[in-house]
Amino acid sequence: MEKPLIIANWKCNPITLAEAKRNFELIKENTKTAEKVEIVICAPFVFLPILKPSENVKLGAQDCFWEDRGPFTGEVSPKQLVDVGCQYVILGHSERRRYLAEKTEAVNQKIKAALGAGLKVIFCVGSETKIPGEEMEYQLTEGLKGLDKRVFDRLILVYEPVWAISTTKEKVIATPKEAQEGGLYMRKILASLFDAETAKAARVIYGGSVDSKNIRGFLDEGEMAGGLVGAASLKSEEFIDIIKNACYPER
Protein backbone atom coordinates (compact mmCIF):
# COMPACT_ATOMS: atom_id res chain seq x y z
CA MET A 1 0.00 0.00 0.00
CA GLU A 2 1.32 3.44 -0.98
CA LYS A 3 2.03 6.08 1.62
CA PRO A 4 -0.39 9.01 1.91
CA LEU A 5 0.70 11.86 -0.33
CA ILE A 6 0.49 15.31 1.28
CA ILE A 7 1.03 18.19 -1.14
CA ALA A 8 1.34 21.88 -0.24
CA ASN A 9 0.06 24.32 -2.85
CA TRP A 10 1.47 27.69 -1.86
CA LYS A 11 -0.32 29.38 -4.79
CA CYS A 12 0.86 33.04 -5.16
CA ASN A 13 2.50 33.07 -1.72
CA PRO A 14 4.57 34.15 0.17
CA ILE A 15 5.75 37.62 -0.86
CA THR A 16 9.45 37.24 0.00
CA LEU A 17 12.12 34.70 -0.74
CA ALA A 18 13.23 34.86 2.89
CA GLU A 19 9.80 33.71 4.06
CA ALA A 20 9.64 30.96 1.44
CA LYS A 21 13.04 29.61 2.50
CA ARG A 22 12.16 29.83 6.18
CA ASN A 23 8.88 27.92 5.72
CA PHE A 24 10.46 25.29 3.48
CA GLU A 25 13.35 24.64 5.87
CA LEU A 26 11.02 24.54 8.87
CA ILE A 27 8.91 21.87 7.21
CA LYS A 28 11.97 19.85 6.23
CA GLU A 29 13.42 20.03 9.73
CA ASN A 30 10.19 18.97 11.44
CA THR A 31 9.31 16.07 9.13
CA LYS A 32 12.60 14.19 9.04
CA THR A 33 11.00 11.22 10.80
CA ALA A 34 7.74 11.33 8.81
CA GLU A 35 8.53 8.12 6.96
CA LYS A 36 4.88 7.05 6.68
CA VAL A 37 3.93 9.88 4.33
CA GLU A 38 5.18 11.48 1.10
CA ILE A 39 5.54 15.27 1.19
CA VAL A 40 5.61 17.68 -1.75
CA ILE A 41 5.73 21.47 -1.66
CA CYS A 42 4.58 23.24 -4.82
CA ALA A 43 5.98 26.76 -4.68
CA PRO A 44 5.83 29.77 -7.06
CA PHE A 45 8.23 29.59 -10.02
CA VAL A 46 10.53 32.35 -8.70
CA PHE A 47 11.39 30.37 -5.56
CA LEU A 48 11.97 26.96 -7.16
CA PRO A 49 15.70 27.35 -8.00
CA ILE A 50 16.42 28.45 -4.41
CA LEU A 51 14.46 25.87 -2.41
CA LYS A 52 16.40 22.67 -1.83
CA PRO A 53 14.37 19.44 -1.69
CA SER A 54 15.43 16.61 0.55
CA GLU A 55 14.82 12.92 1.00
CA ASN A 56 11.59 13.61 2.88
CA VAL A 57 10.34 16.82 1.20
CA LYS A 58 10.08 16.97 -2.60
CA LEU A 59 9.70 20.04 -4.78
CA GLY A 60 6.87 20.73 -7.20
CA ALA A 61 5.61 23.52 -9.48
CA GLN A 62 2.09 24.85 -9.88
CA ASP A 63 1.93 24.80 -13.68
CA CYS A 64 4.03 24.37 -16.82
CA PHE A 65 3.84 24.94 -20.58
CA TRP A 66 3.45 22.22 -23.21
CA GLU A 67 6.65 22.98 -25.18
CA ASP A 68 10.26 22.48 -24.10
CA ARG A 69 11.45 25.84 -25.40
CA GLY A 70 10.59 28.57 -27.86
CA PRO A 71 8.97 32.02 -28.33
CA PHE A 72 6.47 31.66 -25.48
CA THR A 73 6.88 34.76 -23.34
CA GLY A 74 6.18 34.21 -19.67
CA GLU A 75 5.96 30.41 -19.87
CA VAL A 76 8.05 27.79 -18.06
CA SER A 77 8.72 24.41 -19.63
CA PRO A 78 8.64 20.98 -17.96
CA LYS A 79 12.33 20.42 -18.69
CA GLN A 80 13.22 23.72 -17.04
CA LEU A 81 11.33 22.56 -13.94
CA VAL A 82 13.23 19.28 -13.89
CA ASP A 83 16.52 21.15 -14.20
CA VAL A 84 15.86 23.19 -11.02
CA GLY A 85 14.96 20.12 -8.97
CA CYS A 86 11.22 19.66 -9.43
CA GLN A 87 9.76 16.17 -9.42
CA TYR A 88 6.07 17.15 -9.46
CA VAL A 89 3.79 19.66 -11.15
CA ILE A 90 0.15 20.64 -10.51
CA LEU A 91 -1.94 20.88 -13.67
CA GLY A 92 -5.58 21.83 -14.26
CA HIS A 93 -6.18 23.55 -10.92
CA SER A 94 -9.62 25.16 -10.70
CA GLU A 95 -8.13 28.60 -10.06
CA ARG A 96 -6.33 28.50 -13.38
CA ARG A 97 -9.50 27.40 -15.11
CA ARG A 98 -11.50 30.17 -13.41
CA TYR A 99 -9.15 33.16 -13.41
CA LEU A 100 -7.00 32.40 -16.48
CA ALA A 101 -9.66 30.70 -18.64
CA GLU A 102 -7.47 27.61 -19.00
CA LYS A 103 -9.12 25.00 -21.19
CA THR A 104 -9.02 21.26 -20.58
CA GLU A 105 -7.52 20.75 -24.04
CA ALA A 106 -4.54 22.86 -22.95
CA VAL A 107 -4.27 20.87 -19.72
CA ASN A 108 -4.09 17.70 -21.80
CA GLN A 109 -1.14 19.08 -23.77
CA LYS A 110 0.60 20.08 -20.55
CA ILE A 111 0.08 16.65 -18.99
CA LYS A 112 1.68 14.95 -21.98
CA ALA A 113 4.63 17.34 -21.97
CA ALA A 114 5.18 17.04 -18.21
CA LEU A 115 5.06 13.26 -18.26
CA GLY A 116 7.40 13.25 -21.25
CA ALA A 117 9.91 15.32 -19.27
CA GLY A 118 9.83 12.86 -16.38
CA LEU A 119 7.68 14.85 -13.97
CA LYS A 120 4.95 13.36 -11.82
CA VAL A 121 1.67 15.08 -12.62
CA ILE A 122 -0.89 16.19 -10.04
CA PHE A 123 -4.01 16.50 -12.23
CA CYS A 124 -6.88 18.42 -10.64
CA VAL A 125 -10.44 17.53 -11.58
CA GLY A 126 -13.18 19.65 -10.05
CA SER A 127 -16.89 20.24 -9.84
CA GLU A 128 -18.85 23.42 -9.17
CA THR A 129 -21.69 21.40 -7.69
CA LYS A 130 -21.84 18.94 -4.81
CA ILE A 131 -23.01 16.13 -7.07
CA PRO A 132 -20.21 14.97 -9.42
CA GLY A 133 -21.36 14.90 -13.03
CA GLU A 134 -20.70 15.92 -16.63
CA GLU A 135 -18.20 18.63 -15.73
CA MET A 136 -15.83 16.14 -14.11
CA GLU A 137 -16.43 13.55 -16.80
CA TYR A 138 -15.41 16.07 -19.46
CA GLN A 139 -12.28 17.13 -17.58
CA LEU A 140 -11.17 13.53 -17.12
CA THR A 141 -12.05 12.39 -20.64
CA GLU A 142 -10.41 15.33 -22.42
CA GLY A 143 -7.60 15.77 -19.92
CA LEU A 144 -6.46 12.16 -20.32
CA LYS A 145 -7.10 11.96 -24.05
CA GLY A 146 -4.37 10.11 -25.94
CA LEU A 147 -2.70 8.79 -22.79
CA ASP A 148 -1.93 5.16 -22.08
CA LYS A 149 -2.94 3.56 -18.76
CA ARG A 150 0.73 3.01 -17.99
CA VAL A 151 1.07 6.71 -17.12
CA PHE A 152 -0.81 6.16 -13.86
CA ASP A 153 2.40 5.25 -12.09
CA ARG A 154 3.31 8.95 -12.46
CA LEU A 155 -0.14 10.53 -12.52
CA ILE A 156 -1.97 11.58 -9.36
CA LEU A 157 -5.61 12.61 -9.61
CA VAL A 158 -7.07 15.25 -7.31
CA TYR A 159 -10.77 15.41 -6.54
CA GLU A 160 -11.19 19.15 -6.17
CA PRO A 161 -14.73 20.22 -5.20
CA VAL A 162 -14.65 23.84 -6.33
CA TRP A 163 -17.43 24.72 -3.90
CA ALA A 164 -15.23 23.67 -0.98
CA ILE A 165 -11.81 25.15 -1.75
CA SER A 166 -10.48 27.82 0.58
CA THR A 167 -10.74 30.66 -1.93
CA THR A 168 -14.53 30.52 -2.15
CA LYS A 169 -16.43 33.42 -0.54
CA GLU A 170 -18.24 31.18 1.92
CA LYS A 171 -15.93 28.48 3.17
CA VAL A 172 -17.80 25.18 3.05
CA ILE A 173 -15.90 22.07 4.01
CA ALA A 174 -16.78 18.82 2.28
CA THR A 175 -17.42 15.76 4.39
CA PRO A 176 -15.35 12.59 4.03
CA LYS A 177 -18.43 10.93 2.51
CA GLU A 178 -18.69 13.65 -0.14
CA ALA A 179 -14.99 13.21 -0.88
CA GLN A 180 -15.50 9.47 -1.18
CA GLU A 181 -18.40 9.97 -3.61
CA GLY A 182 -16.24 12.24 -5.76
CA GLY A 183 -13.42 9.71 -5.79
CA LEU A 184 -15.73 6.85 -6.68
CA TYR A 185 -17.21 8.87 -9.53
CA MET A 186 -13.73 9.53 -10.88
CA ARG A 187 -12.89 5.83 -10.74
CA LYS A 188 -16.11 5.05 -12.59
CA ILE A 189 -15.02 7.35 -15.44
CA LEU A 190 -11.52 5.87 -15.42
CA ALA A 191 -12.97 2.38 -15.75
CA SER A 192 -14.85 3.47 -18.89
CA LEU A 193 -11.76 5.18 -20.33
CA PHE A 194 -9.26 2.44 -19.48
CA ASP A 195 -10.32 -0.61 -17.44
CA ALA A 196 -11.49 -1.61 -13.98
CA GLU A 197 -8.00 -2.56 -12.80
CA THR A 198 -6.58 0.84 -13.75
CA ALA A 199 -9.51 2.62 -12.11
CA LYS A 200 -9.03 0.72 -8.86
CA ALA A 201 -5.27 1.26 -8.73
CA ALA A 202 -5.32 4.97 -9.62
CA ARG A 203 -4.05 7.29 -6.92
CA VAL A 204 -6.85 9.74 -6.05
CA ILE A 205 -6.25 12.42 -3.42
CA TYR A 206 -8.51 15.13 -2.02
CA GLY A 207 -8.15 18.90 -2.41
CA GLY A 208 -10.58 21.27 -0.72
CA SER A 209 -9.99 23.07 2.61
CA VAL A 210 -7.76 20.35 4.06
CA ASP A 211 -6.48 20.97 7.60
CA SER A 212 -4.98 19.05 10.52
CA LYS A 213 -8.41 18.26 11.97
CA ASN A 214 -10.01 16.73 8.87
CA ILE A 215 -7.11 15.04 7.08
CA ARG A 216 -7.62 11.68 8.84
CA GLY A 217 -11.29 11.66 7.89
CA PHE A 218 -10.45 12.15 4.21
CA LEU A 219 -7.80 9.43 4.35
CA ASP A 220 -9.88 6.89 6.27
CA GLU A 221 -13.60 7.44 5.70
CA GLY A 222 -13.11 9.27 2.42
CA GLU A 223 -10.72 6.57 1.13
CA MET A 224 -8.42 9.24 -0.29
CA ALA A 225 -4.74 8.53 -0.97
CA GLY A 226 -3.66 11.92 0.33
CA GLY A 227 -4.46 15.61 0.27
CA LEU A 228 -3.68 18.74 -1.75
CA VAL A 229 -3.43 21.45 0.90
CA GLY A 230 -3.99 25.11 0.01
CA ALA A 231 -4.40 27.83 2.65
CA ALA A 232 -3.36 25.59 5.57
CA SER A 233 -0.02 24.84 3.89
CA LEU A 234 1.01 28.50 4.24
CA LYS A 235 1.12 28.11 8.02
CA SER A 236 4.13 25.90 8.61
CA GLU A 237 3.01 24.66 12.02
CA GLU A 238 -0.43 23.72 10.68
CA PHE A 239 1.04 21.94 7.67
CA ILE A 240 3.43 20.01 9.90
CA ASP A 241 0.44 18.94 12.03
CA ILE A 242 -1.36 17.77 8.89
CA ILE A 243 1.64 15.63 8.02
CA LYS A 244 1.85 14.20 11.55
CA ASN A 245 -1.86 13.35 11.58
CA ALA A 246 -1.51 11.70 8.20
CA CYS A 247 1.35 9.59 9.59
CA TYR A 248 -0.23 8.58 12.86
CA PRO A 249 -3.94 7.68 12.95
CA GLU A 250 -3.88 7.54 16.74
CA ARG A 251 -3.15 11.28 17.11
| Residues with active-site annotation | 93, 160
Nearest of 203, 199, 195, 202 to residue 227 by alpha carbon: 203
φ, ψ of residue 238 to 5 degrees: the values are -65, -40
- Give me the residues paired with residue 204 across strands: 157
CA angle, 189 then 192 then 196, to 5°: 95
Amino acid identity of residue 17, one-letter, is L
Report which secondary-structure segment, H or E, holds 204: strand 203-206
Cβ atoms of residues 229 and 208 within 8 Å? no
